[in-house]
Amino acid sequence: MAIATVNPATGQTLKTFEAQGPDEIEQRLARATAAFRDYRTTDLVTRAELLRATADLLEHEQDEIAHTMTTEMGKTLVAARAEAAKCVKALRWYAENGERLLADERPSAADVEDSGARAAYVRYRPLGVVLAVMPWNFPLWQVIRFAAPGLMAGNVGLLKHASNVPQTASYLGDLFHRAGFPEGCFQTLLVGADAIEKILRDPRIAAATLTGSEPAGRSVAAIAGDEVKKTVLELGGSDPYIVMPSADLDRAVRTAVTARVQNNGQSCIAAKRFIVHSDVYEGFVERFTAAMAALTVGDPMLESTDVGPLSTERGRADLEELVNDAVGQGATALCGGRRPPHHRVGWFYEPTVLTGITPTMRIHREEAFGPVATLYPADDLEAAVELANDIPFGLSSNVWTNDEAEQRRFIRDLEAGGVYFNGMTASHPAMPFGGVKRSGYGRELSGHGMHEFCNVTTVWYGA
């Protein structure tokens, strides 16, 4: 895949970039290694000040980078601005909370005595140079949510971003340096996927984190496993959105639309499978379909646009294949199911609602990365849980119920990294984020995400 900015709304190639060669990669690896030797000894107050400076700079430039993101991958400008603001918030959150999260942990006096020590504690030390392989769908947020905790912990980062967001990647490579981080603490590698293995196998790389597809995760995990290096993987998701009879149906419908079409439907944590109790199924379907059909598809730069284009032509083709396979096997498209006829250029696709889904259809088990929702009726809680878990993924889940007994059952039985009641899944710097099954392993954000790339060190003093 070429490293290029291609506007998804027009299909026009705006700028191309040459991939960095072996000499440039070597220089960046050397700079990162040298930077870590010094940066790892900086105090936490200094690291926090640098993160605050980065937040201030990004806040000042958020309109500029929002336009870049919209141009490169097609998210609405409204969403791009919100993404930039979220990144500012995360940088400041880690600046405010990093010292607390990295503080030494002290076991009880009884446990220290029982271990035969006069003193003992746990210290979090940085691992080193961390390679981040990041996706295009949240091109700023996905990187910041790795970089902020990583830099606060004393690690340094090398970013291999998706090849269709090179300008956003370059911006990130400059942002931390301009904010005052020492040279080499955070750098961007403009390279293709074929360069990842050699970089990851380099002994100067201590660990890796990847957000992306399942095949990409398998590849990185296999290489890192062969090299005995730590990885964190956040892969695909096909999150359930369960609606039970006690739910506020109006709120559930409004939130369902946002949960499905956020980021033009291209989000791992977007709700994709809507599992609705039979008692409220017809009412939900009627309102949800009407709301999806009423969305405005168009130029992502316009404030009035609800859904912009998909990021790539291949991405739209993949989505069409899933929908056509389902319809060909008997599913019904209550709305959408096609390219908008009034958009002759760009990679647009209409918001779509499908019913009559069966296990033989690909969309039942594969992730639909675009504004396509599948609807399932469920006669009771047990049926809803069974449907929700009947996929290879387990990233997050959304449940609408005001029944506390039902809530306890869903918390116990749903196979997912998160259970969100009466709202939609959203990542927040204070909450751990990640999945189970083929959605990956490890956690990002919160103290859990920060500690993933720390050497958790036991310090013990003899009596």
Give the burial string for 166-182 (b: 16+ CB within 10 Å, else e). bbbbbbbbebbeebebb
Q: Token pair of 94, please?
A: 């880690």
Q: Is 335 in the active site?
A: no
Which of these is catalytic: 87, 268, 335, 454? 268
CA–CA distance from 344 to each of 348, 371, 381, 408 (Å)?
A: 9, 19, 45, 49
Residue tagged active-site, from 72, 87, 185, 234: 234
Nearest one of 252, 173, 212 to 420, comparing CA atoms: 252
Angstrom CA distances, 224 to 129, 132, 253, 325, stand at 14, 13, 43, 36
Dihedral, CA of residue 409, residue 364, residue 209 and residue 228, to nearest 10? 90
Pairing of the two strands 129-133 and 4-7: unpaired
d(CA 256, CA 109): 50
Question: What is 228-287 written as a DSSP string?
Answer: T-EEEEE----EEEEE-TTS-HHHHHHHHHHHHHGGGG--TTSEEEEEEEHHHHHHHHHH
Catalytic status, residue 367:
no
| CA–CA separation, 54 and 77 (whole Å) | 22
Q: List the catalytic residues.
A: 234, 268
